[in-house]
Amino acid sequence: MADREETMDKGGMSRRQIFGTAFAGAATAAGTAMLGSLGSAAMPGRAFAQDAAGGGAPTSIAWGDEAWRKIVADKVAGRTLKIGFTGPAASEFYDEIEHGAFAQMRAYSDLFGVKWDWTYASPQEHQDINDQVNTIEAWVTNKFDAVLVCTAGDFESMQNVYARAETAGTRVFQFNMPAELWDESQNRAISNIGYNNVMQAGYLAGRYIATKLGGKGKIILIWGLPGHWSTARRKGLDIALAEFPDLKIVGEQRGDYVRDKALNAAMNLLQRDPNINAIYGENEEMALGASQAIQALGLKPWDGTDGIITIGADGLKSGFESIKEGQMTATVSVGAVDQGRQSIETIFWNLIFDQVPPKVFNVRTQVVDKTNVDEPLAYVTWALSVPKI
Amino acid sequence: MTVVSQNPPSTNGIAEALQSFAGRPGAGIFLFLVVFLPVISFFAPQMLQEANLAGILNQMVFIFIPTLGMTIVIISGGIDLSVGSVIGLSGGVAASLLGVGLPLPLALMAGIAAGAAIGFLNGIVITRLKVPDFVATLAMMGVVRGVLYVWTSGVPFRNYMDPAYYLIGGLRMVAGKLTLPVFVALALLLILTFVLKRTWIGAHFRATGSNAEAARLSGIRPARVKLMAYVASGTLAAITGVMLAGRLTTVHPAMGAGYELETIAAAVMGGAALSGGRGSFWGALVGALTLTVIQNAINILNIESTWENIIIGGIILFAVLIDRAAMALSRTALRGRPH
Amino acid sequence: MNNNNKFHLSDLLNVEGATVFFALAVLVLFSSVFAPSFLTPENISNVLVQSVFVMILGIGMTYVLISGGIDLSVGSAMGLAAAVCVYCINAGLPLPLALLLGLATGAAAGFVNAYLIVGLGFADFIATLGTLSLMRGIVEVMTASTRLNSKDPGFMFLAGGSLGGVPFAVLVALVVAIVAGVILARTTMGRAVYGVGLNPKSSFLAGVLVNRVRFSVFVVSGLCAGLSGILLASRLSSVHPAMGTGYELTAIAAAALGGASLSGGRGSVLGTALGALFLAILQNTLSLMSVNAFWFQIITGVIIVLAVLMDGGVRRFVAQRARAA
């Protein structure tokens, strides 16, 4: 009792009040505990956890204290940060990244009083890079504080517009780009928040297939549009499969990231040889299409010991649900929600305090299958429930 | 359904028949296909397997049905670029209605009605407001696609499937290795062929397409005919769209994008002339079949993906070349015959 | 043409591209008021550069449309010309030579189209659809085997540099527009293009080499596509396999806004240039106003229809007045 009175005297606001107001109405207690754990892993000393019980004595540690929070809030001074977010296409995946960002933005609003002006854009024509450059130019003209960019083009395509943005005062951050493919020092973006497509995606998928099949079997691959994601994931897959000479790639065709083309390609390849052991779809849309092809042809999906493995990469809610139902076998969750959250963390501390983030920040990824799908599914479901900014 | 000069009486029945056949729309492509398949199957015997042939038919339907509509529009002298977007939107309508609990037949009909409505709108803008058809349907393509994006907020519609829809979408086989959409396509082909060959509608379409002024002078109302053509195109695209939504089990906002160019390619390969007045449904079938067979061959032969577009482009041109050669051959041959 | 000397509204409206000019004026007015930062020198410079690619593409397309044809392969031709150009730069060739080879590639693409259409009698829709796929495939093969980026300062200058405060790309577009416009409006060759589009038979009887005209318009279109592609690659300092995809439809829309008709015989370089400017400014305005990205296509589509409607209405109005006069 005395303890609590003491804390009330200090700042005029009880510890419970500070942390209890975070995520008002938006997050579950589990979610907020996760928020704290992410922050602690990413930037020690910079995250907050809601009091799990919501009302009783604090059971979880709160990073920083009221004095620190006040300094930050004073520096923020109620400022509105104008952010532009542009991805190469509209999809479930980019929607998840956005929601991760919404969650972190709301958290910071509650804690530090920062306001957000968030604009989303994606090109009219799928993956049109020039369209995105035009959009960024408009945002720079409108004096946006920061732009968060992901394009289908390589680093080089965007360096012109990044340089101009820099000069005009708009800070540039990238997300979801395979930074490992390029020379880091050539990238004018302040930070690239993503994951290593080679080792954290392609490689993991390859290893999963190899492990489940005991190092032996026939694989078919369905690729997306030619571009850097395909290139990087291919590299990783090759590295993984190089250790297993009895695993043979017997077919690879394009699915161009769309379900109908992938469905047809998978059907045709399976028609040609139904004795396939695994299908890798470069993204989940295509892997899901492949899993439907298997069903449509009356073939057997993987049940743990027998059948055809289907594995994709993205970490979509629909993918997790399909895994839970046993249709798709597995996927590489590339941390979409975490990318969104980490992007906001990076942007906030860089904009407000000029703190320097790493040039490349890779989030955690993991292979998700029926044995471990519950946590990622719950995490994504929570993120998607956060209201838009 | 062809515009070929009258065959003079002759004694060489078979040669005559062949030459007149060669002049029919799509005949050249058909010949190409007939030669192509066995040649390819030499390299990949699996192509001629029953399962694969059935698979080709199952896949072809989704290009074939909108091609039927496109053929009608082209015959009547127009063009419809909004087909792909209509496929997407109609699928979206069906999916979202299913999602809120409407029974499947109603949801499908609503989707088809949406396509018909868009076709009607196209027709009005083109015939009453006199906006040229290319521009009008190009704009409609963007508007309808935009509507789908706004409606879906960029995230696909999901979780609307039920067992019957799997059947309708062609994810489950119904007769041997064939799926339901194949029978839908067959029914549509027969109905439309009957309507256009045996009723006044077909003659009116062709007349309007060949020469709208002359048609008007002979009592046909070109505006009304064109309107009907666009409604037909929208409806057929929508039928495709609602089936596709079943096949893919999600409606992505970009669903159907790009189908319009494939459809036009299939129609033109099948002999439809963009100047109007000429085209055939069997030609449309051959065109759609050719495109599907090419894609099937590329997959089955496991041709390196980077070569895909080169091959498709090359084969389209080659197939049209053969078609033109066949036409030229038949014309000179017939011309050379003494009366 | 009026017999008396009084000034009539229809005189003004009869000028090629008048309606799109009017529409453009309305748009600029709207944007100046409602779009923040629209009239800043930086934004104007940006928007002018943004319009260049579709503008040059559209000017080439205008030649083809006026002659009664259509060229769907220009988007892919952009990519192919850019790929050849950058490949040559990376191979060590001097910049002017690389540029020339890139432009030649565009012209060659036009030659191929022209041969298929005029020589072999293909329908232009299907021929250019075939070459669209073919050229796109070649670009994909090229980019799969080599990295097609270039930081060559001369190359970057094309779309990034300025002369006397005006972006170089805009100057290029201006020159192209003037040259193409003059040829089309004031030379016999230009008039022949209109003649072929309006009535090939009478043109033929009048001594016009119809086939030669039809042939050359496709070469012009290919050349413009090549130039546009090289400029785009300069802007992005790289060649992406999908670059230019869909641009052919935007180019046709720009031409249609400017008064070109797909049945031939109508259109002008000025109209198309203004149409391309209109589309770029529309996009820019929507971006500056932070309009929901998904609404762009809807708004653009509706406005295109309205603009074309207005153009058609104006033409009928002018024709009526001419008949009455």
- Residue A182: which CATH number? 3.40.50.2300
pLDDT tens digits, one per residue of A262-282? 999 999 999 889 999 999 999
* Domain topology for B45-324: ABC transporter involved in vitamin B12 uptake, BtuC (1.10.3470)
Q: Do A137 and C46 touch (CB under 8 A)?
A: yes
What pLDDT score does A183 carry?
A: 86
In a domain, C26, yes or no: no
**Does residue A319 register a pLDDT over 80?**
yes
Lowest-confidence segment of A43-57, A306-320, B124-138 by average pLDDT: A43-57
Provide the β-strand partners of residue A252.
Answer: A221
What pLDDT score does A227 carry?
A: 87
Q: Do B129 and C309 touch (CB under 8 A)?
A: yes
Q: Which two tokens stand for residue B39?
A: 């040649």
- Residues of B within 8 A of C136 (CB-CB) are 309, 313
**Locus of tokens 């799990």:** A52
Contact C253, C265 (CB under 8 A): no
**Locus of tokens 């789908």:** B148
- Residues of C within 8 A of B311 (CB-CB) are 137
pLDDT tens digits, one per residue of C119-147? 998 888 889 999 999 999 999 999 988 88
Residue of chain B minimizing CA distance to C256: B135
C-alpha to C-alpha distance for B252 and A258, rounded to whole angstroms: 9
Of A126, A252, A264, the CB nearest to B59: A264
3-state SS record for B162-198 = CHHHHHHHCCCEEECCEEHHHHHHHHHHHHHHHHHHH
Q: Look at chain A and report how many structural domains it folds into.
A: 2
User: Which 8-state DSSP code applies to residue C243?
Assistant: T
Contact B295, A264 (CB under 8 A): yes
What pLDDT score does A138 carry?
A: 96
Contact B32, B327 (CB under 8 A): no
Picking from C95, C91, C82, C104, the residue whose alpha carbon sits closest to that of residue C237 is: C82
Could you give the angle at which helices B308-335 and B27-43 cross, rounded to 10 degrees? 130
Lowest-confidence segment of A32-36, B136-140, C242-246 by average pLDDT: A32-36
Rounded to the nearest 5 percent, the helix, strand and coil shares of chain A are: 50, 15, 35
What pLDDT score does C208 carry?
A: 77
Shared domain for A265 and A301, answered yes or no, is yes
pLDDT tens digits, one per residue of C270-283? 999 999 999 999 99
Q: Do A141 and C156 touch (CB under 8 A)?
A: no
**Does residue A73 register a pLDDT over 50?**
yes
- Residue C179 C-alpha from the chain's centroid: 14
Contact C284, C50 (CB under 8 A): yes
Please state whether beta strands A366-369 and A330-333 pair in parallel, antiparallel, or not at all (unpaired): antiparallel
What pLDDT score does B329 carry?
A: 77
Contact A52, A88 (CB under 8 A): no
CA distance A169 to chain B (A): 30
Question: What average pLDDT does chain A have?
Answer: 86
What pLDDT score does C10 carry?
A: 56
Lowest-confidence segment of B18-22, C80-84, C173-177 by average pLDDT: B18-22
Of A91, A252, A259, the CB nearest to B248: A259
B288 touches chain A (CB under 8 A): no
A230 touches chain B (CB under 8 A): no
In a domain, C238, yes or no: yes
Of C116, C125, C137, the CB nearest to B310: C137
CA distance C152 to chain A (A): 12
Q: CA-based Rg of chain A, rounded to a whole angstrom?
A: 23
B257 touches chain C (CB under 8 A): no
What pLDDT score does C7 carry?
A: 58
What pLDDT score does A44 carry?
A: 37
Contacts of C254 (CB under 8 A, 6+ apart): C54, C55, C58, C61, C272, C275, C276, C278, C279
Contacts of C151 (CB under 8 A, 6+ apart): A156, C237
Sequence letter at residue C313: G
Shared domain for A129 and A143, answered yes or no, is yes
Picking from B310, B303, C241, B309, the residue whose alpha carbon sits closest to that of residue A252 is: B303
- Residue A228 C-alpha from the chain's centroid: 17
Of A94, A126, A295, the CB nearest to B254: A126
Contacts of C143 (CB under 8 A, 6+ apart): A226, C83, C239, C240, C241
What pLDDT score does A9 carry?
A: 38
The residue extents of the domains of chain B are: 45-324
Give DSSP secondary structure letters for A315-360. --HHHHHHHHHTSS-EEEE--HHHHHHHHHHHHHHHHHH-PPPPSE
Please state whether beta strands A171-175 and A191-194 pair in parallel, antiparallel, or not at all (unpaired): parallel
**Does residue A25 register a pLDDT over 70?**
no
**Locus of tokens 């000028």:** C15
Domain of C213, in residue numbers: 41-311
Lowest-confidence segment of A30-44, A75-89, B166-180, C30-44 by average pLDDT: A30-44
- Residue C188: which CATH number? 1.10.3470
Tell me the residues of chain A between 332 and 351 that have a Cβ less than 8 Å away from chain C: none
**Does residue A16 register a pLDDT over 90?**
no
B290 touches chain A (CB under 8 A): no
What pLDDT score does B328 carry?
A: 78
A91 touches chain B (CB under 8 A): yes
What pLDDT score does A32 carry?
A: 45
Higher pLDDT, A23 or C23: C23
- Residues of C within 8 A of B303 (CB-CB) are none
Shared domain for A122 and A227, answered yes or no, is no
Count of alpha carbons within 13 angstroms of residue A280, beta-carbon side = 32
CA distance A372 to chain B (A): 22
Complex-level ipTM: 0.91
Of A137, A138, A153, the CB nearest to C236: A153
C-alpha to C-alpha distance for C15 and C11, rounded to whole angstroms: 7
pTM: 0.89
What pLDDT score does C11 carry?
A: 58
Lowest-confidence segment of A177-181, A295-299, B273-277, C158-162 by average pLDDT: B273-277
| Band of pLDDT at residue A2, cut at 50, 70 and 90 | very low
Give DSSP secondary structure letters for C279-319. HHHHHHHHHHTT--GGGHHHHHHHHHHHHHHHHHHHHHHHH
Domain of A365, in residue numbers: 5-195+335-385
pLDDT tens digits, one per residue of A336-379? 999 999 999 999 999 999 999 999 999 999 999 999 999 999 99
What pLDDT score does B334 carry?
A: 61
**What is the arithmetic mean of pLDDT over C231-256?**
94
**What is the arithmetic mean of pLDDT over C221-236?**
97
Of A126, A139, A157, the CB nearest to C238: A157
User: Which 8-state DSSP code applies to residue B5?
Assistant: P
Residues in chain B where the model's pLDDT stays below 50? 1-5, 339
> How many Cβ atoms from other residues are within 10 Å of residue A2's Cβ?
5
| C-alpha distance from residue B150 to each of A90, C283, C306 (Å) | 11, 17, 21
Residues shown for chain B: 339
CA distance A74 to chain C (A): 29
Q: Is A216 helix (H, G, I), strand (E, B) or coil?
A: coil
- Residues of C within 8 A of A130 (CB-CB) are 53, 232, 235-236, 243
Q: Look at chain C and report how many structural domains it folds into.
A: 1
User: Which 8-state DSSP code applies to residue B101?
Assistant: T
Residue of chain A minimizing CA distance to B54: A271
Contact B72, B229 (CB under 8 A): yes
**Does residue A13 register a pLDDT over 70?**
no
C-alpha to C-alpha distance for C200 and A7, rounded to whole angstroms: 92
Percent of chain A with pLDDT over 90: 73
Probe site for chain A from B63, B294, B296, B305 (most A CB atoms < 10 A): B305
C39 touches chain B (CB under 8 A): no
Residue of chain C minimizing CA distance to A256: C242
Shared domain for A261 and A362, answered yes or no, is no
A138 touches chain C (CB under 8 A): yes
In a domain, C95, yes or no: yes
Sequence letter at residue B339: H
Of A134, A156, A227, the CB nearest to C50: A134
**What is the arithmetic mean of pLDDT over C253-269?**
90
